[in-house]
Amino acid sequence: MKLVAYARVAFVLMLSIAGVQAQTFKVLHNFAPGEPGDLLGTISQGRSGNMYASSLDRFAFGLGSAFSLNTQGQLTVLHTFNGADGEWPYGGLTLGRDGYYYGTTSSDGNAGFGTIFKMTAQGTVTTLYTFQGGDEAEPLSAPVQSTGGDFFGVAKGTLSSNGSIYKVTASGQFTLLHVFTGTDGTHPGAQLLQAADGYFYGTAHEGGTYSYGTIFRISRWGDFTVLYHFDFNHGKYPSGGLVQGVDGNFYGVTYSGGTNDEGVVFKLKPHSNVVVLHNFVSRSAGVYPLGGLVQATDGSFYGTTSSGGAQGNGTLFSISSTGVFRMLHDLTYTEGELPDAPLLQHTNGLLYGTANQGGPGNYGTFFSLDVGLKPFVKFLPSTTQVGTNVQILGQGFTGTTDVSFNGVPAAFSIVYDTYLVATVPVGATSGYITVTTPTGTLNSDKQFVVAP
């Protein structure tokens, strides 16, 4: 089913920002020996309000683990990989609509090419598929669930191959959609994005006309198009994937290239070329971004640099859709270094992230950044028909009196204080979802689309 395009309306601001606002950085957890380490992948908010991720566990001398962290930084290890069920889960976790968490391991105890798995919230892992080698090997990111329910992802490929794009069902039926040739990119690693038009957008880290990487689009049937070849001046080696802004444009970062070969923030308009919004040229403000961007509820994009700052440990920054750049926090070694993973905006309004190393013992940290944004709600899927259910994540749902789709009241059921299910009501149109709780009204961070 072709998706209905999101209406281009004004973004609902959770907070009106005047001038420069204060921000508060806080280390919530210092990783210790025997705990997860090498945190590189996606962090997902779960139905419980906790955050879920995976790691390599290099410092623990293990094969990787999956774990949860609450908003105060309390760590719970959910699963330790043993080789037979995979090893080295680089990519983090994606929350599926069935309540499972989906991820990948980049290697395994058999042929060593990696797996796709799903995991319960309690940590029981089921292997869905084992990669066969060549272009079908070494997935470095978690798959994303489409509006149709299937999962889509990329595999980096072995050193002698170029990588591929795949589809997999929740039951493990695997389809290879595209094999990269080199001229259209090589070694895709970052997570895919399903955009408002229903296509999946992503980046290849290398390859293309100049060997500096590409931006591509692919349909759920496998129709593939290269949208842009990075040329050094507009960046090289894209990292962290793409995000679609509320303006419909795509945003991302490259690890290097640009004015000083230290990375750029770029914008890609549909049917247009890449525009550089910011060149990383000041080491004091950070260089070499790796984790990509997240658009928060104030409309700004937030990210990290893996190096730079006063002590060279990396920085946190924000940038507007027009290129207004602000360095928000300069990491000290005790706060962590090498923040390589994407940030997550939790529905409590705060941004959360991980540092790969640094902190006491050099085992990495888990931190929050409060820039004054109000609580909100998230939903999944992003589009569905009248009469079907939508899952809503947030907080303070106990005692909720109303859930509305663009102003039309809906029937709903509270499952947890942090999770409820609502039915798309007759007469609903595409727009924002609101939840009226005893402490106030929470707005969704983006628009829900009512499918025909």
Q: pLDDT of 110-125, one tens digit each?
A: 788 999 999 999 999 9
Residue 89, CB half-sphere, CA atoms under 13 Å: how many?
38
For the residues 241-261, what does the mean pLDDT come to? 97
- What confidence tens digit (pLDDT) does each residue in 378-388 have? 999 999 999 99
CA 163 vs CA 177, 209, 255, 435: distances in Å: 11, 17, 20, 43
For the residues 329-337, what does the mean pLDDT come to? 97
- The sign of the torsion formed by the CA atoms of 330, 334, 340, 346 equals negative
Q: Which residues make Cβ contacts (< 8 Å) with residue 159, sequence separation at least 6?
A: none
**pLDDT at res. 57:** 80
Q: Which residues make Cβ contacts (< 8 Å) with residue 66, sequence separation at least 6?
A: 52, 53, 54, 77, 78, 79, 81, 89, 93, 101, 103, 119, 123, 125
Cβ atoms of 22 and 62 closer than 8 Å: no
**pLDDT at res. 72:** 98
* CATH no. of 379-450: 2.60.40.10
**pLDDT at res. 368:** 98
Instruction: Report helix, strand or coil for 93.
Output: coil
**67, pLDDT greater than 90:** yes
- What confidence tens digit (pLDDT) does each residue in 105-164 have? 999 877 889 999 999 999 999 999 999 999 999 999 999 999 999 999 999 999 899 999
Question: pTM of the predicted model, to two decimals?
Answer: 0.93
Nearest to 105 by CA among 75, 78, 84: 84
> What residue spans define the domains of the chain?
379-450
Instruction: Report helix, strand or coil for 24.
Output: strand
Average pLDDT for the chain: 93
**pLDDT at res. 60:** 66
**pLDDT at res. 33:** 85
**pLDDT at res. 8:** 32
Q: How many CB atoms lie within 10 A of CB 196?
A: 20
β-sheet bridge partners, residue 366: 29, 354
Residue 244, CB half-sphere, CA atoms under 13 Å: how many?
19
- What confidence tens digit (pLDDT) does each residue in 3-57 have? 333 333 333 333 333 334 568 999 999 999 888 877 888 999 999 999 999 998 8
- Spatial separation of the C-alpha atoms in residues 208 and 185, rounded to whole Å: 5
Cβ atoms of 239 and 190 closer than 8 Å: yes
For the residues 249-253, what does the mean pLDDT come to? 98
Q: Which residues make Cβ contacts (< 8 Å) with residue 310, sequence separation at least 6?
A: 284, 330
**pLDDT at res. 58:** 67
- Spatial separation of the C-alpha atoms in residues 266 and 272, rounded to whole Å: 12
Nearest to 97 by CA among 393, 351, 350: 393
Cβ atoms of 404 and 392 closer than 8 Å: no
**pLDDT at res. 450:** 95
